[in-house]
Structure formats: structure tokens, C-alpha cells
Structure 1
Amino acid sequence: MFKHCVLILAFVIALPSFAVEPDEILDDPILETRARDISANVRCVVCQNEPIDSSNAGVARDLRLLIRERLVAGDSDDQVYDFLVARYGDYVLFKPPWRPSTYLLWLAPFLILGGGIIGMVYALMRKPQNPHAGLNADEQAQLDELIGSNNEGDAT
């Protein structure tokens, strides 16, 4: 029974906690939905790989409030994104735009994968043809004797 309680508690703790506080939620459900959609695509500048919608950082709260203020003022989603990028740079977006300043960001996974494949091919090509090349004459004679004795034992 105790194990079940611990397991349930672990699942409850592991559930994602949404940091949007009740005083942040807009009265207009359409604007609130737009704010949530935008917040899900904006990176917390403190937490780095967490959307501001689920971050408890103070700056994430400020960004959530800022997004809601801009939407209430009549900004479109693109205008809100442009405002955030102008203030924090492309880094604030989970999907930064394709432009010269972000080419490396977009291409880095492919470059790393290609480098890994080239490294593996190079390592396999460098594999020595004769695995016994580093043996001296006495060691080679002992190895030949061992291999010969094993082959004779297999034949009988």
C-alpha cells in the first residue's frame, strides 16, 4: 500500500506545473488563448529551455504580463513577437526565424551529425589490417602455437 502512495505522489510531483497565476489571466477567453499560445513559444531568458508559460521566474511573469498588455492594447500576435525579439533578440523564440544571424543555430545539429558520421567512417577506415602487427617474434610464435593447438582440438 505504501509503495502505491509513493508512486502516486511521484506522478503528482512530476506533472508539469503551469506558472500562470490567477491574477494574470485575462477576462476575454480569446485573448487569453492567444496569450497562452504566444507564451508557449517564448523561451524564459532565465530558465533557458522552459517556456514562460510554465516558468516561475520573475522575468517570465513579467513577460507573461507584457504579452497580455500588448494583446489588450490591440497588437497582433506577430507584433507581440516582433516586440519581444526587438527587446530580447531571436534567442527568446523557440523557433527563431531563418536569417543569416541564425543559420548556425538551425544548421548546427546537422553539422554535428555529419561530423560524427565522418569521424566514425574515418575511425573504421584506420582499423589495422593485421591485428597482430604490434607483436614481436616471440609473442607471434606463442600466438601461432595457441591458435594451432586450438585448431587441432576442434578437429577431433
Structure 2
Amino acid sequence: MRTKFMMAAFLLFILIFSLLAPGAYSYGREKASMQHIDIGCKFFSAANLILENSAELTLSDEQVNRIKALQNETEKSLIRSEREIELVEVDIKAQLHGDMIDPGILAKFIDQKYELKKMKDKALVESIMSLNSILTEEQRKTLTSLSSKCKKEAGRRE
């Protein structure tokens, strides 16, 4: 009798744990992924924040047009870069699935892939710097206060 009770309690514990574990796991992964936001996301978030608050920042029409043009060019450049990276990834997969794997060629493709990623990130950093250069010093200060206000509001929602 006691053995059956212990076995039932153990199975109940396992059942409860198995139901709760996936939720805890996904919550942890979500938190971890939020800490690593890619540079492109930062650029587009900043540009959208600026455009959404153009009245508060007192942006001129020329500044708005320059920001929109920069967004457009950055998005096109990002798409091109990502496609080039995907093409190199296809070459890597083809090399890995071939009959004879040539380590020299494979290393060349891997170097090429990470060189393209490096160039993409550098271009995004340049876009962020260009975005900041469009704003005046006073507008940058106002943007900083708006950004911190948005982060505080986002922290309250979590």
C-alpha cells in the first residue's frame, strides 16, 4: 500500500514537472533573445522612434525626407547582404554534401560568409552614425530622453 502511494506521488510529481518545464524553458529563452537585439533592429527602431516623434523633436521636412531615404537605402543594403550570405551558405552546404569535402574550399566559403556578415554590421553601424548626424545636438538630447522614457514604460509592461 505504501509503495503504491509513493509511486503515485512520484508519478504525479513527474507529471506536474513535465507540464511546467516547457513554459519555464521558453520564458528563459525569450528573455535571453531579448538581450541580443541585432544592429539592424536597433537602427530601424531608432529611425522609427525619430519619425514617430518628429513633432516633439521639431524635425524639418528635409530631415524627415533624409531619414526616410536612409531607412530605404539601409533596408535595400540589408536585403542584398543577407541574400549574399544565404548564397554562400548554399555553397557551404553543397560542399558538405559532396562526395569529397575539400577543407580549403570549405574554409574559404566560411571566411567569405563571416566577412560578409562583418561588412553588413559595419554598414549598419555607419547607417546609425548617419542617422545621428541628421539630428542637431538638441534633437539628440530630446531623443535620448524620449528613448529612456520608452524603456521605462516597456519595463513596466513586463
Scaled by the length of structure 1, the TM-score of the pair is: 0.26
Scaled by the length of structure 2, the TM-score of the pair is: 0.26
Radius of gyration: which is bigger?
A: 1
